[in-house]
Structure 1
Amino acid sequence: MEPPSPRTTLVPDAGPVPSPAVQWSQGTAADAVLEEEEETTLRWRASTFTWNQGGSTTLFGVGGEYIPADQVYGWDFTFRPNFYVLDRPKDKVSVSAEIGWVTELTNSDITTYYREPQFKDVALNGRYSRELWESGGANRGEYKTDAAMRLRLILPTSPASWNAGKYFTVSVGPQIIQKIKLLGSKADGLNNVTATFGVSYAHLFSESYTAVNGEPVRERMTPSGEVAPDDQLTGASLALDRLSTSLQVDLPLYKDLSLGTSFALLSDFKHELKGGCVTTATGCAPFDSSQGPTYAPQTAFDVSLNYPIFEVVDLTLGYNNTNLQLGYDGQRRNFFYSPEAQFYLDITANLDVIYSKVTGRGKKVEKPGTASAPSRRQL
């Protein structure tokens, strides 16, 4: 696959894992399932429907003054069916999907039309988890170590992805989950802390190294000096590879109220576009690639409070900052705040719990437990 000739117009790319244009869609619920939080014994437990509301912090008077067109508030709806193919005490294999759409309610430059609903990229997930070790004796279950392997396939069903010539993205990576006792399961709060460390590698399969839309959109001069129609949308390479490293910490605060926070480094790698020579009437005119560095790291920080209502609905109030490590001014950005920072509210319906309460099927045996970890967006 030969890369198109580099151009001078630069359009920032969202990375090798296609995502909708709005930034509040960060969730990867397949990674957020902790087995000790099961509310039913149904095979399709952890199936959810989430209504997310996200908005720029500047809309709420937090942060500096930025261009109003860059301020965003919108709704994100995600249906996530989940099914356990293998459901043993220590070994579990689950498959899930993420299907949804977004609607921006402000008048920024994200969508073509005002309040235009857009489909998100569809995600298909597979996850294998195994309990490696659990404490016994008086501290039985208070300390626990789990490991998991995750496989994820992203289909370009959002306008931003299918209009850029993207085919699909595949990612894979391991995960380790460690539960550590604090005050113990009998306490009203601060029972234990759960730390989840994960690494994943993703590769984007696309029509070209740069974004293309399949139809000629403008006439360009070729290296041979001829004028020909071209469908290239940008002079910068898509991020073909991403290496993600993340750490998530979940802490029950008091009874069902819990706190969660995540840190992540998203390392994007682009194809190196080389310069060349364009034939003109006066001879060869050399040019260099204008896309900038081929390595574009992003940082992500998330903190949230979670509270379940009768185990049926989870409410999550949080703050998320995902941004390029280097700003457009060449300066290193703050890890905890940037113009892209957002507040969000998730209202998540636990479909299997609702079904169990209505029909009486799949109810688990009641036993002493701890406050549940927050059902938050995963980085």
Structure 2
Amino acid sequence: MEPTPPVEQVSPRATPGPEAGPVTSPAVRWGQATAADVLLEEEEETTLRWRASTFTWNQGGSTTLFGVGGEYIPADQVYGWDFTFRPNFYVLDRPKDKVAVSAEIGWVTELTNSNITTHYREPQFKDIALNARYSREIWESGGADRGEYKTDAAMRLRLVLPTSPASWNSGKYFTVSVGPQIIQKIKLLGSKADGLNNVTATLGVSYAHLFAESYTPVKGGFARERLTPSGEVAPDDQLSGSSLAMDRLATSLELSMPLYKDLSLATSFGLLSDFKHGFEEGCIATQTGCAPYDGSQGITYVPQTAFDVSLNYPVFEVVDLTLGYNNTNRQIGYDGRRRSVFYSPEAQFYLDITANLDVIYSKVSGRGKKVEKPGTASAPSRRRL
């Protein structure tokens, strides 16, 4: 006689609230969303209100596809394209105070045959993100070192709408996140040098909450027969017995600096703390008696780490090329071992080709060009936050 399979736990419904979606500051690659903000410093290319509007073609692939890494799992290897249109507009554009609103709209296409999508090379919409950001210049050095040291602060608000298949098929409504940033520019060799001019450190913290139909993924129209605590059989739309991440606390640190002329280097570290709902233990009546379940078993906190390093080079100021490596993964692997922040099976190499729409418009039309000031560096500085 075969043993009776374990009874699946049916979780209680929640007040509207879904998985705390990605709210990371480090650059995140294909298959993941990003909350990266773009800031143009005083060397911004144009004075248009909609500057920093971009269209990015991202190519990302698992490191094992290129023969890098010890764990080889063909079914999980991914190579794909990610397209993102990011319109940006400055509602307030003063020398020291700025308010910008932006959106992130895009889609992804997987070119390998992994287990991520149902159909081969299936294009899918990403979650749409709406962002608002207020920044203020707190302090800037003067005298001989004018502009070589600078301190800025910012506050970010983000709304993520469930427009991707994975989100709208799991009962999510939307995710809201908010958090501050502090940006510090420090002089190295100075603005007149050919490289290593300065280093910019950005420290950011954000808190996100998910609003959803249930604590667990659910799908309308899905009716699987399950046992209720009273022992009756009833249809249920629950897709999984584990909780969504209802809350996320993300902390990140990014360092960026010019290496030589227009070539720049950026690296970032992040800790993404996901908090899940804790289910109580209980008992389900069956024909052979009461079948107890352990609830969440104390696993309500799931930490993830993020590491990114990239090289960036602008081509005639209109297109940015970014070649990088990203590793965003659970701190504890499925085997129960602690993973390295620098490498995991989810690690990817990526190439970003970003068209700076405002600069292209300015060069073609001649409008919005910034008047060059004598004695100042002309190299543009565009960086992620």
Q: How does 1:99-138 map to 2 (within 5 A)?
A: 99-138=105-144
Q: Does 1:369 align with 2:381?
A: no
Question: Aligned partners of 1:22, 1:237: CA distance in 2, in Å?
Answer: 25
Q: Does 1:93 align with 2:99?
A: yes
The amino acid of 2:129's aligned partner reads A
Q: Does 1:242 align with 2:248?
A: yes
Residue in structure 1 matched with residue 21 of structure 2 by the alignment: 17
Q: Does structure 1 conserve the Cα–Cα contact (< 8 Å) formed by 2:41 and 2:382?
A: no
Q: Secondary structure at the match of 1:358?
A: helix
Question: Aligned partners of 2:147, 2:50: CA distance in 1, in Å?
Answer: 24
Q: Does 1:28 align with 2:9?
A: no
| TM-superposition CA deviations, 1:94-119 (whole Å, max 9, x none) | 00000000000000000000000000
Residue in structure 1 matched with residue 257 of structure 2 by the alignment: 251
Q: Does structure 2 conserve the Cα–Cα contact (< 8 Å) formed by 1:210 and 1:236?
A: yes
Following superposition, the deviation at residue 37 of structure 1 comes to 4.1
Q: Return 56-65 or 169-178, whichever deviates more.
A: 56-65
Following superposition, the deviation at residue 365 of structure 1 comes to 1.4
Question: Aligned partners of 1:374, 1:147: CA distance in 2, in Å?
Answer: 17
Following superposition, the deviation at residue 18 of structure 1 comes to 5.5
Question: Aligned partners of 2:69, 2:51: CA distance in 1, in Å?
Answer: 40
Aligned CA distance change for structure 1 residues 64 and 372 (closer, same or farther; 3 Å): farther
Residue in structure 1 matched with residue 338 of structure 2 by the alignment: 332
| TM-score of the aligned structures, taking structure 1 as reference length | 0.93
Q: Which runs of 5+ in 1 are unaligned?
A: 8-13
Question: Aligned partners of 2:71, 2:285: CA distance in 1, in Å?
Answer: 47
Aligned CA distance change for structure 1 residues 177 and 184 (closer, same or farther; 3 Å): same
Q: Does structure 1 conserve the Cα–Cα contact (< 8 Å) formed by 2:29 and 2:326?
A: no
Aligned CA distance change for structure 1 residues 15 and 325 (closer, same or farther; 3 Å): farther
Q: Secondary structure at the match of 1:59?
A: helix
Question: Aligned partners of 1:210, 1:287: CA distance in 2, in Å?
Answer: 16
Following superposition, the deviation at residue 25 of structure 1 comes to 3.8
| TM-score of the aligned structures, taking structure 2 as reference length | 0.91
Following superposition, the deviation at residue 371 of structure 1 comes to 4.7
Aligned CA distance change for structure 1 residues 296 and 65 (closer, same or farther; 3 Å): closer
The amino acid of 2:347's aligned partner reads A
Question: Aligned partners of 1:303, 1:222: CA distance in 2, in Å?
Answer: 50
The amino acid of 1:276's aligned partner reads G
Question: Aligned partners of 1:18, 1:325: CA distance in 2, in Å?
Answer: 16
Residue in structure 1 matched with residue 89 of structure 2 by the alignment: 83
Q: Secondary structure at the match of 2:362?
A: helix
Q: Does structure 1 conserve the Cα–Cα contact (< 8 Å) formed by 2:81 and 2:108?
A: yes
Following superposition, the deviation at residue 274 of structure 1 comes to 1.5
Q: Does structure 2 conserve the Cα–Cα contact (< 8 Å) formed by 1:315 and 1:348?
A: yes
Residue in structure 1 matched with residue 150 of structure 2 by the alignment: 144
Q: Secondary structure at the match of 2:200?
A: strand
Question: Aligned partners of 2:259, 2:381: CA distance in 1, in Å?
Answer: 10
Following superposition, the deviation at residue 282 of structure 1 comes to 3.8
Q: Secondary structure at the match of 2:138?
A: strand
Residue in structure 1 matched with residue 3 of structure 2 by the alignment: none
Question: Aligned partners of 2:298, 2:83: CA distance in 1, in Å?
Answer: 35
Residue in structure 2 matched with residue 10 of structure 1 by the alignment: none
User: Paired residues, what number?
Assistant: 366
Q: Secondary structure at the match of 1:355?
A: helix
Q: Secondary structure at the match of 1:36?
A: coil
Q: Does structure 1 conserve the Cα–Cα contact (< 8 Å) formed by 2:71 and 2:345?
A: no
Q: Does structure 1 conserve the Cα–Cα contact (< 8 Å) formed by 2:38 and 2:52?
A: no
Q: Which runs of 5+ in 2 are unaligned?
A: 1-7, 12-17
Residue in structure 2 matched with residue 345 of structure 1 by the alignment: 351
Q: Does 1:47 align with 2:56?
A: no
Q: Secondary structure at the match of 2:361?
A: helix
Q: Does structure 2 conserve the Cα–Cα contact (< 8 Å) formed by 1:314 and 1:375?
A: no
What RMSD, in angstroms, separates the aligned Cα atoms of the two structures? Answer: 1.9
Following superposition, the deviation at residue 298 of structure 1 comes to 0.2
Following superposition, the deviation at residue 32 of structure 1 comes to 2.9
Q: Return 208-217 or 94-103, whichever deviates more.
A: 208-217
Question: Aligned partners of 2:163, 2:350: CA distance in 1, in Å?
Answer: 24
The amino acid of 2:51's aligned partner reads R
Q: How does 1:162-241 map to 2 (within 5 A)?
A: 162-241=168-247
Question: Aligned partners of 2:216, 2:84: CA distance in 1, in Å?
Answer: 29
Q: Does 1:60 align with 2:81?
A: no
Q: Return 320-329 or 279-288, whichever deviates more.
A: 279-288
Question: Aligned partners of 1:361, 1:22: CA distance in 2, in Å?
Answer: 34
Residue in structure 2 matched with residue 260 of structure 1 by the alignment: 266
Aligned CA distance change for structure 1 residues 316 and 15 (closer, same or farther; 3 Å): farther
Question: Aligned partners of 2:356, 2:211: CA distance in 1, in Å?
Answer: 34
* Percentage of identical aligned residues: 80
Following superposition, the deviation at residue 200 of structure 1 comes to 0.3
Which of 295, 305, 320 is the aligned partner of 1:299? 305
Residue in structure 1 matched with residue 315 of structure 2 by the alignment: 309
Q: Does 1:284 align with 2:272?
A: no
Residue in structure 2 matched with residue 11 of structure 1 by the alignment: none
Q: Does structure 1 conserve the Cα–Cα contact (< 8 Å) formed by 2:10 and 2:228?
A: no
Question: Aligned partners of 1:371, 1:5: CA distance in 2, in Å?
Answer: 59
